[in-house]
Structure 1
Amino acid sequence: MKTKKVLLLLSNGFEAYEASVFTDVLGWNKQKGDGCTEVITCGGREKLKCTWNFTVIPEMLLSEVDLNMFDALAIPGGFEEAGFYTDAFSDEFLSVIREFDRANKIIASICVGALPVGRSGVLKGRKGTTYHLNNGYRQDQLASYGVEIVDQLMVIDKNIITSSCPSTALNVAFTLLEMLTSLENCYKVKHLMGFNKEGLTNE
């Protein structure tokens, strides 16, 4: 079975929880599911500090990314106060997003991870969502990039997944797993992780 490689694209100031759902769900699949997924972390700096001050050393730098190695892109959100948009809105970061969309590969973003996707231009004229609380100003920002805002927790438009807040993170990761493998395999991994088919904790 061909390995499906996912590039976990990290900006300085990213939320550790939103990144961890991708490493956990796809890691569980690698060990206990159909075994085909592999996650590789990438950033624009040799060391990245996440929103709550964990320090992460990415496996690759943006300058080293070879699109042909990967089947999907995953982008967690982060906090402006922690410098998230400095990296996430950089030319290198946006270029990676454009390359994945140009190749029609899956792009899965969580919360404000949708904003660099929107800023890159790949969602122009398409549907999406992002953080919806605090008077919806982040959704207004996404709309300014020509995105049609949909009032849903998670929106899928062709190859791009966007979501509205951190609570959606696991559902985004499971949806990515389903798109890379199958619904049946996704259910298997959910069960082994203690979730039901809807992604809720089994009692």
Structure 2
Amino acid sequence: MPAIATSRIAILATHGFEQSELEVPLNDLRAKGATVDIVSLEAGEIKGWDEKDWGAAVPVDRTLAEANVADYDALVLPGGQINPDVLRVEKAAIDFIRAFDGAGKPIAAICHAPWLLIEAGLLKGRRATSYSSIRTDMINAGAVWEDRAVVLDGMIATSRNPGDLDAFVATIVEMVEQGREKRQAAE
């Protein structure tokens, strides 16, 4: 059985996430058998942004205070302009991201979500991509920015935009498989 089918993945988001950047990974990963939790700052629902206006709400499975990195195999960070901008000033969110990195677990960020990786100090010297409007932010944070659909550097994957979602999800699956193999080899 593929590791993705028995994995548990956290999607960290809050109000203003780009609708497709949360829903496509959520639905595709669940379709592959993964257990996927929406983790957010507060219980209840969070509302997406769908291109030019507010989108649909999704239920929160766990608050950030309830979520434990040890329970997850990977972390997905959807973009949108609002979502990562709100999360990057929340110490608990940045600590959660750093803990995934510290545990050597996969982190996947799309569009504007690499702002969170910048805030967590995880991009210096790493190859990465993002939505074009934050390219300078990425370079100023020390990333080696590449204009590619998805860039994988170690256990951190970054992707440009919603047009790259199929490649983004495929990279998440690949990272979960590789991460499981590495952890099993270390045991």
Aligned match of 2:158: 162
Q: Match for residue 185 of structure 2?
A: none
Which of 12, 20, 25 is residue 22 of structure 1 equivalent to?
25
Matched pairs, number: 170
Q: Distance in 1 between matches of 2:84 and 2:153?
A: 24
Deviation of residue 7 (structure 1)? 0.5
- Supply the AA of the counterpart residue of 1:166: P
Deviations 1:62-114, CA, capped at 9 Å, x for gaps: 1111111011000110123xx64122432111111100000010001111111
Q: Give the corresponding residue for 1:50.
A: 48
> Which aligned runs of 4 or more in structure 1 are off by greater than 3 angstroms?
none
Q: Considering only CA atoms, is the larger Rg found in Structure 1 or Structure 2?
A: 1
Q: CA deviation at 1:144?
A: 2.0
Is the strand fraction higher in 1 or 2?
2
Query: 1: CA distance between counterparts of 2:112 and 2:76?
Result: 12
Among candidates 39, 47, 52, match of residue 36 of structure 2 = 39
Q: Unpaired segments of 5 or more residues in structure 2?
A: 179-187
Q: TM-score scaled by structure 1?
A: 0.77
Tell me how far 1:179 sits from its aligned partner: 2.7
**Could you tell me which residue of structure 1 aligns to residue 70 of structure 2?**
68
Percent identity, please.
29
| 1:151 to 1:84, Cα distance in 2 relative to 1, 3 A | closer
Aligned position for 1:140: 136
Matched ranges for 1:1-203 at <5 A: 3-30=6-33, 37-46=34-43, 47-51=45-49, 52-80=54-82, 84-132=84-132, 137-181=133-177
Superposed CA deviations along residues 111-135 of structure 1, whole A, max 9, x for unmatched, are 1111111221011221111101xxx
